[in-house]
Structure 1
Amino acid sequence: MTGCSVDHTHASVGDELPARVGVVGAGVIGAAWTARWALCGVDVVVADPSPSAAGYVATTVAAARAAWQRLGLLPGDEAVADAGITSGASGTVTVLAPDAGAAAAADGAQLICECVPERLEVKQSAYAEIEAGAAADAVIASSTSGIRPSELQVGMVRPERLVVGHPFNPVYLLPLVEVVAGARTCEQAVERATQWFTAAGMAPLRVRSEIDGFLADRLLEALWREALWLVHDGVATVAEIDEVMRLGFGLRWAQMGVFQTYATAGGEGGFRQFVEHFAPTLNLPWTKLTDVPTMTPEFVEALVRQAEQQADGRSVAELCAARDRNLADMLLALEANEWGAGRCLAALRRRLSSRYHLPR
């Protein structure tokens, strides 16, 4: 990383939360970032060219508010107006007119969350607009799920201010955010972004090596490839694969991950015994490794048809609502056991207790 030239006149690493956040791109991730920041008390300004952006952001904030009320992070009598959050101690949400542009969202923001589509040229174009409106001390955090920050920095006037802050859907509930620095990123920008994410109840994980896909997506892609092959080859259906995950190892992963789960599978011998017993199976030709099935129109239609059958008439909104309720209750259970993501929830509860007058 290069030396830092970010001006800290108006912000410092010691600040609890940014006073204002700009969000560029109001899709699934951008709208959810907006909700998390606002519910933490931060004023958020959102830029998106879509005429439906304001409605989508309002719907997402409402879903996030319901989830946080279920978690006990918010009092139950606050309301969300059509234009955003306007009551209580929450931050305000302003969704700009479709033609306002990214510079307007960046104006006055200490942190700008870039959430535009996952194409390098689109992101680099967004940075040009963002930098035209951003203050000298602003940090830009890209939500890219796999593009290296060094590639994103090409063409930037102040590349030292850009970091990757890759969150997970739904951002207002899942605490992990992968933090990745590019070759020209300033360490102070990384520290500021990390501190702000932490103050918002996130669990920043510093990815020490700049690699495509970072950590999480490389793991997810391996599972995704194998799942696609199983459907492609007629071995299993979409629903059967999901049953295997959600009724089996998915429940273990939610609390212990892969390695700790296997440590418990080794009996009294722990992880060493597990490796000695099961390592030979790694040489069996079970997986398709890195081969990917061709996504022909016929295969795509088969996937879609099975996914729709699995939904059994439930809309995406209904599925997301069920997901949020389940995640909230799982987080509460983990919090009660002082384990995993529950620790992040406990820390966020402590931070919000005075703001929302929560019971201790």
Structure 2
Amino acid sequence: MRIAVVGTGVIGASWATLFLSHGHRVVASDPAPGAEDRLRAAVAADQRRLSFTPDLAEAVADAEFVQENGPERPELKDRLFAVLDAAAPPGTVLASSSSGLAPSRIQRACPAHPERVLVGHPFNPPHLIPLVEVVPGGRTSEAAVEQAMDFYRSLGRRPIRLRQELPGHVANRLQAALWREAYSLVERGAASVADIDTAIAHGPGLRWALLGPFLNQHLSGGPGGIAHVLEHLGPPMEEWWADLGSPRLTPELARAITDGVRDELAGAAVADLVAERDALLSLLLDAKNRTDHL
């Protein structure tokens, strides 16, 4: 399959790695000086099936799927998708990795074939994290949605389909809810940055890596499952909700968080942490893939 990767920054390079590792041909395009060299340095896969052109129309002319990864600027997306709409074959899905722009907004730049435009939002790095959020716009066809879902599944991804267009989609909104309370706890002085990270990384985060919030609640309810949890812990949980904070990202709070992260790192190299994180992610994903339900 011939796949066009538009924009070859961190996300685009990771997508290219994934596509190449599954035997697809990749044509990448990025107008930035030195983009091809940076892409080839980042891609840890067989590059014989990787080609590059700064000409966007040329890159998508024969593409069977397009994954766009440009900056989150509406006016730039408009220019990109105007070219994609005109140059890509009519039946080719145009998927944007956008984490912030609604697909209906992106479709405005595609008067010829808005029905094949959607969001295919990954989590960084896409070649490791299986989740892809597929978000159709108001004019996206059911055929395009199914084609995208099937394509991402063929890559070993775990796509979910959103039924509404929401700022931040689903997973980023769930993350934002946790960050909101984490920032509030720092602002209140209730816990340090390091202690909050420890609480998640060595507590519920371990279970969250295996099952989502609802199934984790269900398993914690014993024979009664989630119904038992909601009956007995629902009222106190509502009290906790009422006490959750609504912090503002003031300069003082931003400084406290930045200082807290610096202290937590204690001189550790970020590159080493990233390498350890990705190695453990690979081990976890391999283990999950050997189970029947996870």
Partner amino acid for 2:130?
P
Equivalent of residue 28 in structure 1, options 2, 6, 10:
10
Q: Does the CA-based 8 Å contact 1:232-1:293 persist in structure 2?
A: no
Quote the residue 2:143 is aligned against: 188
Q: Which letter does structure 2 place at the counterpart of 1:41? A: G
Deviation at 1:153, TM superposition (A): 0.8
Structure 1: 5+ residue runs without aligned partners?
A: 1-18, 66-79, 87-91, 341-360
Classify the secondary structure of the residue corresponding to 2:202.
helix
Structure 2 residue corresponding to 1:249, chosen from 196, 204, 210: 204
Matches within 5 A, 1:53-72: 53-62=35-44
Are residues 1:171 and 2:171 paired?
no
Distance 1:242 1:330, change over 3 A: same
* Paired residues of 2:79 and 2:109 also in contact (CA < 8 A): no
Identity %: 40
Who is 2:234 aligned against? 279
2:56 paired residue number: 102
What secondary structure is seen at the aligned counterpart in 1 of 2:153? helix
TM-score, length basis structure 2: 0.91
Whole-Å separation in 1 of the counterparts to 2:168 and 2:65? 23
8 Å contact kept, 2:102–2:165? yes
Q: How far is 1:35 from its partner?
A: 0.7
Q: Aligned partner of 2:221: which letter?
A: G
What does residue 160 of structure 1 align with? 115
Q: Quick check: which one's helix share is greater? A: 2
The counterpart of 2:187, out of the listed 229, 232, 242, is: 232
SS, match of residue 255 in structure 1: coil
Shift of the 60–244 alpha-carbon distance from structure 1 to 2, 3 Å rule, reads farther
**Aligned amino acid, residue 248 of structure 1:** G
Pairwise CA distance, 1:235: 2.3
Runs (4 or more) in structure 1 with deviation over 6 Å come to none
User: What is the CA distance between 1:30 and its match in structure 2?
Assistant: 1.2
Shift of residue 59, structure 1, vs aligned partner: 4.0
Other structure's SS at 2:43 match: helix
Question: Structure 1 residue 338: deviation in Å?
Answer: 2.5
> Residue 95 of structure 1 aligns to which amino acid in structure 2?
F
Q: Give, in angstroms, the shift of residue 38 of structure 1.
A: 0.7
Contact residue 103 and residue 131 of structure 1 kept, 8 A: no
CA RMSD of aligned residues (A): 1.9
Count, aligned residues = 291
In 1, Cα distance between equivalents of 2:83 and 2:139: 20
2: CA distance between counterparts of 1:261 and 1:94? 44
- For the 8 Å contact 1:180–1:206, the answer to whether it is kept is yes
User: 1:47 is matched with which residue?
Assistant: 29
Tell me how far 1:26 sits from its aligned partner.
Answer: 1.5
1:111-141 CA distance string (max 9 Å, x none): 1111112222221221012223312222100
2:105 maps to 1:151: yes
- Deviation per residue, 1:137-175 (Å, 9 max, x gap): 221001112322111111312211101111111111111
Unaligned runs of 5+ in 2: none
Conservation of the 8 A alpha-carbon contact between 1:101 and 1:129: no
Q: Which whole-Å CA distance do the structure 2 matches of 1:319 and 1:54 have between them?
A: 27
| Amino acid paired to 1:146 | G
Q: 322, 325, 329: which one pairs with 2:283? A: 329
TM-score (structure 1 length as normaliser)? 0.75
Counterpart code for 1:309: D
Measure, in 2, the Cα distance between the counterparts of 1:214 and 1:31. Answer: 22
Q: 3-state SS of the aligned residue for 1:26?
A: coil
The Cα shift of 1:184 comes to 0.7
1:52 positional shift: 4.2
Question: Aligned-pair distance for 1:55?
Answer: 4.0
SS in 1 for 2:186: helix
